[in-house]
Amino acid sequence: MERIIGGVLLAIGICFGIWILKKGVENWALVREEKGAWSVIAAGEAVIYFLATMGISDFLLNTLFIRFFKLTDDRRLPPTLVSACLTPGTIVAFSLLRSENSIDAVSLLVCCLCAVAGSFAGSRVVGGLDGARIKKVMAFALSVCLMVLAVRTFFTAEGMGTLTGLPPVKLIIAALFTFLWGFLNMFGIPFKPSGMAVFLLLGLSPLAALTFTLVVGGIAPLAGGIEVVRRQEYHKKMACCAVVFGTAGVIAGTVVAVSISAVALNIIMMIVLLIAIVSMLRK
């Protein structure tokens, strides 16, 4: 079952990548005029999605990257984050599911379907919001992520679970959470830091929690991604670079299989979260 889910995700991600590149070619004159040098964006996406294979949020890193180089305005930020992650995110999920046989496929499938439903609903709402409101929503949600991650890192380090799936009550909680975060994902809110924290607090083992987080985080933007790509209100140059060079970074990350301790990874995530929150609140 896990491999079937992974194969479906990979096929969808490839189709999205082809669609995004096709849109880029059709609007080549506009793409060339967009902000940012090709070389800088390509290198940035390769590094960001290389780090994504270790569980570090690509949404967070891409938010910092976009705002540092001033690639686009706040209104186009969430669609740009979503369009950039569609292909690399599904490849990360596929690589995990291809080799992972110690998770409950039913629990994973329920969380994935709820995340897709949430992203579909969120994609219908986000287009009508202005940049200032999006920034406030993002800053609030990132603050929640930071607090939860801090609690998990410093107060529950000895209480790691051993579950590979979720019993009924916990599965209902996870389903509601993944729907909500699938919805918020369309606003550019990163799923991975909060997802990892919630799945661990629900009792999943660290390996199972990482797998759930990266797979659900990879599938969450897919339904909403249809609306995002159709509207074309994203930074096309960055999306095209993510499809090509982000994919290369993901493949390199899965081959190299860089290892890092859970505590160190969480501290890195918290630093990135804090920087992102400050970035969102700046005028």
Tell me the pLDDT tens digit for each residue of 202-259: 888 877 888 898 889 888 888 788 888 988 889 999 999 999 999 999 998 877 755 5
Q: Which helix (H) or strand (E) holds 70?
A: none
pTM attached to this predicted model: 0.82
Predicted confidence at residue 21, as pLDDT, reads 97
Predicted confidence at residue 259, as pLDDT, reads 59
For residue 159, what are its two tokens?
């209480």
Helices within 53-99 (DSSP H only): 58-69, 77-99
121 to 127, 137, 227: CA distances (angstroms): 11, 16, 10
Predicted confidence at residue 129, as pLDDT, reads 62
Find, among 96, 104, 8, the residue nearest to 54 by Cα: 96
Predicted confidence at residue 103, as pLDDT, reads 82
**Within the chain, which residues score under 70 in pLDDT?**
99-102, 126-132, 134-135, 138, 149, 152-153, 155-160, 257-266, 269, 276, 279-280, 282-283
Predicted confidence at residue 201, as pLDDT, reads 77
Radius of gyration of the chain (CA): 17
Q: What span, in angstroms and rounded, lies between the C-alpha atoms of 196 and 99?
A: 20
Q: What span, in angstroms and rounded, lies between the C-alpha atoms of 167 and 110?
A: 12
Give me the chain's average pLDDT, please. 84
Secondary structure of residue 100 in the 3-state scheme: coil
Predicted confidence at residue 235, as pLDDT, reads 95
Contact 217, 195 (CB under 8 A): yes
Q: What span, in angstroms and rounded, lies between the C-alpha atoms of 211 and 215?
A: 6
Contact 134, 233 (CB under 8 A): no
Predicted confidence at residue 222, as pLDDT, reads 84
Find, among 254, 263, 261, the residue nearest to 97 by Cα: 254
Give phi and psi for 18, each to the nearest 5: -65, -40
Work out the widest C-alpha separation in the chain, in whole angstroms.
55
Strand partners, 204: 163
Q: What span, in angstroms and rounded, lies between the C-alpha atoms of 21 and 166?
A: 38
52 to 31, 57, 198, 232, 275: CA distances (angstroms): 26, 6, 18, 25, 18
Q: What is the amino acid identity at position 271? A: I
Predicted confidence at residue 146, as pLDDT, reads 75
Predicted confidence at residue 179, as pLDDT, reads 94
Secondary structure of residue 72 in the 3-state scheme: coil
- The separation between CA 154 and the C-alpha centre of its own chain, rounded to angstroms, equals 24
